[in-house]
Amino acid sequence: MSGSQEGQHDHPESGEELSIYARRAQAIEALLVEKNVCTPAEVQGMMDVVESRSPADGAKVVAHAWADPEFKARLLAEPRSALAEMGYSLPDTTPRLAVVENTAQVHHMVVCTLCSCYPRTLLGRPPDWYKSFSYRSRAVVDPRGIMREFGLELDESVEVRVLDSTADLRYLVVPRQPAGTEHLPETELAKLISRDSMIGVCNARTPQTVPAG
């Protein structure tokens, strides 16, 4: 049956060679389908979810959490149902999304030392640096050094909590809301919330540091 599946994937007709990784992924997918582990529609469905999401979605959710403390409490306690309120339907499978909050006393930073686990169902694909050996090995040993490279110098009185997502949970960080932004509408707040601040390697922007455009 695997032979009959050749050619079902779209790839360039130019004769361009697929990378060994692309060919390996195709071979594995064909086997999974053949063994009834999953259907091509399920694979496509998950790809569609991840490809449709970007840090803008995370920023929208965090902005809403900043603006509405009750929503924030629900988001921290039951992320999946809280996100459903905003129209985000997360797959009812593992990995499961978990949300943590940064405060004046506690700062979370997320890494996956084993591979590249990331809250893809809300933020889309992780940045390349997140997957690098350098980040993965240094984040657990020297988180404050990493944050310094992202422009954040945390006071010694702040407790740094590194989350290593080794298993079935994927962590989203709600960064601290910058002081003096309480009056802003959610669409303006969302501009302050960078992808990196939702990984926890830096803080949200202030209105003064939002890039133009």
Partner 1 sequence: MAQSNKYRPGDQVRVRVDSPSGHYRTPTYIQGKTGLVVASCGRFRNPESLAHGGSGLPEQPLYRVEFTQRSVWDRYQGPSGDKILVDIYEHWLDPVAFRR
- Interface ranges with partner 1 (CB under 8 A): 94, 96, 98, 113-114, 140-145, 156-157, 159-169
Q: Cα(181)–Cα(183) distance, rounded to whole angstroms?
A: 5
CB 128 within 8 A of CB 183: no
Q: Residue 192 pairs with which residues in a beta bridge?
A: none
Candidate list 2, 52, 115, 137, residue with the active-site label:
115
- Is 116 one of the annotated active-site residues of the chain? yes
Which amino acid appears at position 32 of this protein?
Answer: L
Three-state secondary structure call for residue 155: coil
Closest distance of CB 2 from partner 1, Å: 17
What's the burial of 191, exposed, middle or buried (CB within 10 Å: 0-12/13-18/19+)? Answer: middle
Between 101 and 164, name the residue whose CB sits nearer to partner 1.
164
Phi-psi region of 96 (alpha: psi -120 to 50; beta: other; left: phi over 0): beta
End-to-end CA distance of the chain, in Å?
Answer: 52
- Is 38 one of the annotated active-site residues of the chain? no
Between 111 and 192, name the residue whose CB sits nearer to partner 1.
111
Closest distance of CB 16 from partner 1, Å: 32
- Is 202 one of the annotated active-site residues of the chain? no
95 prior amide bond cis, ω within 30? yes
Strand 96-101 and strand 159-164: the pairing is unpaired
Candidate list 117, 165, 194, 202, residue with the active-site label:
117
Which amino acid appears at position 42 of this protein?
Answer: E
Residue 85: phi and psi, rounded to 5, are: -60, -35
Q: Which residues participate in catalysis according to the annotation? A: 112, 115-117
